[in-house]
Structure 1
Amino acid sequence: MNDSIYLKIQESPRFKELVAKRERFAWILSAIMLGLYAAFILLVAYGPQILGTKLAPGLTITWGIPAGVGLIVSAFVLTAIYVQRANGEFDDLNNQILQEARQ
């Protein structure tokens, strides 16, 4: 691609829309993940008795194990949500921008 196509893309309202949507979505997902991590750390710091409570009488597993695993799983889920939207809506917008720039 040459410089004129790059300039067309940068000045395109669709490109600006794509950048804004992608940034907003990434920040929202990042804030959710940060909130989950902060909640977990605060629970470890101020509520260790909650995480140390056994799931059921006679079990050795405490609530801390599923909470930690849930935190890790939430990172994968949020990543999957981002990938799904990126491969759908964001890729569609990207293709439209490229088609407009080539005309």
Structure 2
Amino acid sequence: MSKNVEIAIIQNMKFKDMVRARNRFAMWLSIVILFIYFLFIGIASFYPQLLAQTMGDRVLTVGMPMAALVIIISWLITGIYIYITNQHFDRIKEELKREYQYE
């Protein structure tokens, strides 16, 4: 019985649309993250003097806060993915489970 229900859920257009939208959303966020990483690595590779500049009279260089910003943006984008997934995609998944009385 469970195998037939799983096949029915997988063939449901609502499920297919949800999977397609989730994959598209994850791909766009991945592209944003990759762009930010490659931009930072590109600056470090081709313009290291830019990242090596000190900030005012301090010993802190421009590269350190930029690297921290890359990490923080990665965390924020991960949080956005988790929030959207929990608020939108998981609700659709739960509706389908209830509709097909699965688990």
- Fold shared by both chains (TM-score > 0.5): yes
Q: Percent identity?
A: 28
Let me know the Cα RMSD of the aligned residues. Answer: 1.4
Moved over 3 A (4+): none
Instruction: Tell me the SS of whatever aligns to 2:73.
Output: helix
- Residues 65-84 of structure 1: pairs in structure 2 closer than 5 A: 65-84=64-83
Counterpart-to-counterpart distance in 2, 1:31 and 1:55: 30
Q: Which residue of 2 aligns with 1:99?
A: 98
Q: State the AA in 1 paired with 2:78.
A: T
Counterpart-to-counterpart distance in 1, 2:58 and 2:91: 50
Tell me which of the two structures has the higher relative contact order, counting C-alpha pairs closer than 8 angstroms and 6 or more residues apart: 1
Q: What do the CA deviations read for 1:26-46 (whole angstroms, capped 9, x no partner)? A: 101110110011001100011
| 1:46 has 2:46 as partner | yes
Segments of structure 1 that go 5 or more residues without pairing to the other structure are none
Counterpart-to-counterpart distance in 2, 1:14 and 1:55: 53
Give the alignment's TM-score, normalised by structure 1.
0.93
Counterpart-to-counterpart distance in 1, 2:99 and 2:12: 9
Deviation at 1:95, TM superposition (A): 1.1
Q: State the AA in 2 paired with 1:75.
A: S
Q: Which residue of 1 aligns with 2:25?
A: 25
Give the alignment's TM-score, normalised by structure 2.
0.93
Q: What do the CA deviations read for 1:3-55 (whole angstroms, capped 9, x no partner)? A: 11101101111100110011001101110110011001100011111101112
Instruction: Tell me the SS of whatever aligns to 2:54.
Output: coil
Counterpart-to-counterpart distance in 1, 2:61 and 2:75: 23
